[in-house]
Amino acid sequence: MRAFSSHQFVLPLPPGHRFPMQKYALLQAELLARGVLQPGDVQPPHAATDAELAHAHAPGYVQRVAHNLLSDAELRRIGFPWSEAMVERSRRSTGATLDAARAALVDGVAANLAGGTHHACHDHGEGYCVFNDAAVTARLLLAEGAVRRVAVVDLDVHQGNGTAQICGQDTDVFTLSLHGERNFPFRKVASHLDVGLPDGTGDDDYLAALDPALAAVWDFEPDLIVYLAGADPHEDDTLGRLKLTLAGLAERDRRVLAGARERGIAVAVAMAGGYGRELATTVAVHLQTLTLAASLQAGWRVRRSLPA
- In terms of CB distance, is 179 or 261 closer to Zn ion? 179
Q: x/- site string to Zn ion, residues 173 to 212, per CB under 5 A?
A: ----------------------------------------
Handedness of CA 113, 158, 18, 79 (dihedral sign): positive
Q: Restricting to residues 232-271, name those near Zn ion by CB under 5 A.
A: 232
Residue 41 DSSP code = G
Quote the least distance from Cβ 227 to Zn ion, whole Å: 14
- In terms of CB distance, is 95 or 162 closer to Zn ion? 162
Query: What is the b/e burial string over 15-32, where b = at least 16 CB atoms within 10 angstroms of the residue's CB?
Result: eeeeebbebbebbbebbe
Q: Which stretch binds Zn ion (CB under 5 A): 50-58, 224-232, 261-269, 294-302?
A: 224-232
Q: Is 170 left (phi over 0), alpha (psi -120 to 50) or beta?
A: beta
Q: For the chain, how many helices (H) and strands (E)?
A: 10, 8
Quote the least distance from Cβ 69 to Zn ion, whole Å: 28
Quote the least distance from Cβ 282 to Zn ion, whole Å: 11
Does residue number 156 form part of the binding site for Zn ion (CB under 5 A)?
A: yes
Report the side by side order of strands in the sheet with 173-180.
42-43, 3-4, 109-112, 266-270, 224-228, 150-154, 173-180, 193-197
Beta carbons within 8 Å of 8's beta carbon, 6+ residues apart: 44
Q: Is 115 left (phi over 0), alpha (psi -120 to 50) or beta?
A: left
Contacts with Zn ion by CB under 5 A: the residue count is 5
Catalytic residue set: 119
Choose which of 23, 57, 89, 158 interacts with Zn ion (CB under 5 A).
158
Q: Which stretch binds Zn ion (CB under 5 A): 49-57, 93-101, 154-162, 203-211?
A: 154-162
Does residue number 273 form part of the binding site for Zn ion (CB under 5 A)?
A: yes
- In terms of CB distance, is 174 or 184 closer to Zn ion? 184
- In terms of CB distance, is 54 or 239 closer to Zn ion? 239
Quote the least distance from Cβ 119 to Zn ion, whole Å: 8
Q: Do 270 and 97 form a contact (C-beta atoms < 8 A)?
A: yes
